[in-house]
Amino acid sequence: MKITDLEKKIGNFCLQIDHLDIEPGRIHGIIGPNGCGKTVLLKILAGIYTPDSGIIDYEGIGFREITMLSQRPYLMDASVYKNLIYPLQIRHIHPDENKTDELLRKAGLLGQKRQYASSLSSGESQKLSFLRAVIFQPKLVMIDETFSNLDTESETLFIEMISEIQKKEPITWIIVSHQLEAVHQLCETIHYMEKGSVIKNETIAGRYRGSGQREIEKGHTGA
């Protein structure tokens, strides 16, 4: 995905990104202080906000192949299982109950399969939201502060599941989080934002491919 001359004004805030490359099949992290535009950028990429100007080249990714997890997940007034398979149903994909049960088991939710999702704790809701996001094999997953409501065990589970997906059939991830340890543990490229612009990129070479050596790209991509 290539982003060029992107601009979005919301009140007194202005997002301005001259150029940003999101390499497909890699895990990208976006970090920066509160109010720097991280969530605004994700909402533009998800089609929730319309930019005032600029070009976003999704390079063949359709909106039905994109999913976004927010800090406060929205769950339907239905069972855990029905929430999980909803993305499959709207895409006319028949769910494989063995596979869905395995996902629920990994997340520690198999025992709540028939319970209403409203009975879940905040952390359990985030787990279900994550499973629902990846069950239909999207091409782009965006995560906005999902790690913030997770305990250490759940955070470790998320990291393991994302790593497992990347080793089998890599997809593109954009992760916004204040949990810097998780970002640095997971991400192959980290984009630093400040005052509505991307100011630096950092690439970790070889992650999920071998060496894991860190490389710094000094080039600025923002104003």
Domain assignment of residue 21, yes or no: yes
- Find, among 26, 17, 30, 14, the residue nearest to 201 by Cα: 30
pLDDT digits (tens, 9 = 90+) for 16-42: 999 999 999 999 999 999 999 999 999
Domain that holds residue 149: 2-72+139-217
Domain assignment present for 130:
no
Residues 139-158 have pLDDT tens digits of: 999 999 877 767 788 888 88
pLDDT of residue 179: 77
Q: Would residue 90 count as lying in a domain? A: no
* Residue 177 in domain: yes
CA angle 77, 72, 58 (to 5 degrees): 105
Per-residue pLDDT of the chain (223 residues; tens, 9 = 90+): 999 999 999 999 999 999 999 999 999 999 999 999 999 999 999 999 999 999 999 999 998 899 998 878 889 999 999 999 999 999 999 999 999 999 999 999 999 999 999 999 988 998 999 999 999 999 999 999 877 767 788 888 888 899 899 998 899 999 998 878 888 888 999 999 999 999 999 987 655 544 344 444 444 444 3
Distances (CA, A) of 68 to 13, 96, 152, 206: 22, 23, 22, 26
Q: Residue 65 sits in a domain of what CATH number?
A: 3.40.50.300
Specify the pTM: 0.85
Count of domains forming the chain? 1
Give the C-alpha separation, 36 to 196, whole Å: 5
In a domain, 77, yes or no: no
Position 203 in a domain: yes
Is 122 domain-assigned? no
Task: Output the pLDDT for position 223.
Answer: 36
Type and span of the H or E element at 155: helix 152-168
Of the chain, the end-to-end C-alpha distance in Å amounts to 20
Q: Is residue 150 included in any domain, yes or no?
A: yes
Q: CB neighbours of 98 closer than 8 A, spacing ≥ 6?
A: none
Model pLDDT, residue 172: 96
